[in-house]
Structure 1
């Protein structure tokens, strides 16, 4: 299977850039893009999508809360479930160190997604989304922060693509370890779901 790794650095200052430049120089399947200004997850993913060339794209956060060893589960599910989009579900798999706020926030936003769009997802907010390359390169992503997840989910479902889920593993970080998402992001996610279901 041919593969490519597209890395986007959202204006880090910890030396990550130097490491990525060295990796790009010796690995032809790695491409690296640096942003001079931090713009958030949604903006970063949009830039990354524009530089992909593959038939399918998997999103991977750099903090490794999600285990890349689960990739094969998502890829295999394309054929097993006859679906175009595969989500990795933490709640049908295993998870550790998820705060109570994040747990119930994820559950609530997933429930609202199911009600709005008539689906039966267990983890709308998951990072692990395997999507068609043509779709992600052409979809108009407007969210710049963590409201990317509800926006892309809404646009996938409104496009007619089918989402299936597979269980994955997850080990969350704490705020002291660098976890940036807050309750305010949950509010933004809720309004994003409302916007893309009833307005846009």
Structure 2
């Protein structure tokens, strides 16, 4: 048996807040039957300029907390969580779009699955009245999380959730605005929390919507991508780098297959080399970022660009041989071109081979440098573990044994 705190952020919701509180009050018996011994309702008035706070205060069972000024949707939720007493936290909007009647179902699903967070999905119900623009946006964000987070979630921005209180320490920090929920979804994925979805009916809101599809959509996108960057940056940099390498290969192949009427298309070939070099650089930078992130979080490095390793060994272990090979190829290419007279007139593009050679050498130096930094960061990330292992190995020595004498170093004659 558990306790529940229901947090309702409200900003200028006088048209809907009363109906929402009546529905929450009516679901009390169902919450008890689901397994809650006690529950509370917290309304956080986020600087409303209408009668929202007055209406909420008329309900004696409601704990009303007021922000003197509007601080944002996420800030209101965090205030409610800070004042909550329940072992479980639930939240839903004050605009009558989300059904309080589904809270018992969310808790039953959490108990049956052992989930840390249950998301009420507006995308999985035939009764959803979500506008088409938001539905398309949710599809896009779900696809982004699937690609960047390797997790299948249909409604990353749902404003109705149930979560264990102790998960907050792993989910914070979270933004103060409407991008609170997509950021929460992304962090839950990367923190390894068990998150499931339960379909819920969704109704069009009462009153004017505070969501601006374009502006808030950009914020949602930023919240998801930036959260991924703080956990697994190689997923973002690596995919960008992989895309550039593929584009460069395609461009180079087209130059060989369809050179055009003017002979060898040197600009196209040079662009292909530049794209390949940029792709390798981004992949190396992403790998370095991953080790830095791992050092900060004190967790193993996340491997695999697409959710699983591409090779049997991490690709960064190949940076040194690939870098040496690239430097050697660049130097050999330039030496051959100079001896063959391709770096000066009358060759049609005397700049081409020197430029390609320089880019190839720079790409090799970039990979070699990345390998050195990865080795150093790998040692640092494992330092604490090795210290504990060495201390544990030393503890095996019997305390009755004499302490080892200092080593005397002698030099051979």
Gaps of 5+ in 2: 1-35, 232-413
Point out the structure with the larger strand share.
1
Tell me by how many angstroms 1:139 deviates.
Answer: 4.0
Work out the CA distance in 2 between the residues paired with 1:154 and 1:138: 12
Q: Which of structures 1 and 2 has the larger relative contact order (alpha carbons within 8 angstroms, sep 6+)?
A: 1
**1:21 and 2:21 aligned:** no
**Paired residue for 1:181, among 211, 225, 230?**
211
**Correspondence list, 1:1-200, <5 A:** 1=36, 2-23=38-59, 26-27=60-61, 30-136=62-168, 139-173=171-205, 177-182=207-212, 183-199=214-230
Tell me by how many angstroms 1:164 deviates.
Answer: 0.7
Runs of 4 or more off by more than 6 Å in structure 1?
A: none
TM-score, L = length of structure 2: 0.45
State the secondary structure of the residue aligned to 1:160. Answer: coil
| Change over 3 Å in CA distance of 1:4–1:138 after alignment to 2 | farther
State the secondary structure of the residue aligned to 2:53. Answer: helix
State the secondary structure of the residue aligned to 1:6. Answer: strand
Give a deviation string over 1:175-195, Cα, whole Å, max 9, x none. xx3111111101111111111
Point out the structure with the larger helix share.
2
Larger Rg: 2
State the secondary structure of the residue aligned to 1:88. Answer: strand
**Alignment length, in residue pairs?**
194
Work out the CA distance in 2 between the residues paired with 1:137 and 1:47: 14
Work out the CA distance in 2 between the residues paired with 1:111 and 1:95: 22
| Change over 3 Å in CA distance of 1:97–1:172 after alignment to 2 | same
Contact 1:46 / 1:141 at 8 angstroms: preserved in 2?
no
Higher mean alpha-carbon deviation, 116-125 vs 14-23, is at 14-23
State the secondary structure of the residue aligned to 1:169. Answer: coil
Gaps of 5+ in 1: none
TM-score, L = length of structure 1: 0.90
Give a deviation string over 1:139-161, Cα, whole Å, max 9, x none. 43341211101111122222211
Tell me by how many angstroms 1:82 deviates.
Answer: 2.5
Contact 1:146 / 1:185 at 8 angstroms: preserved in 2?
yes
State the secondary structure of the residue aligned to 1:123. Answer: coil
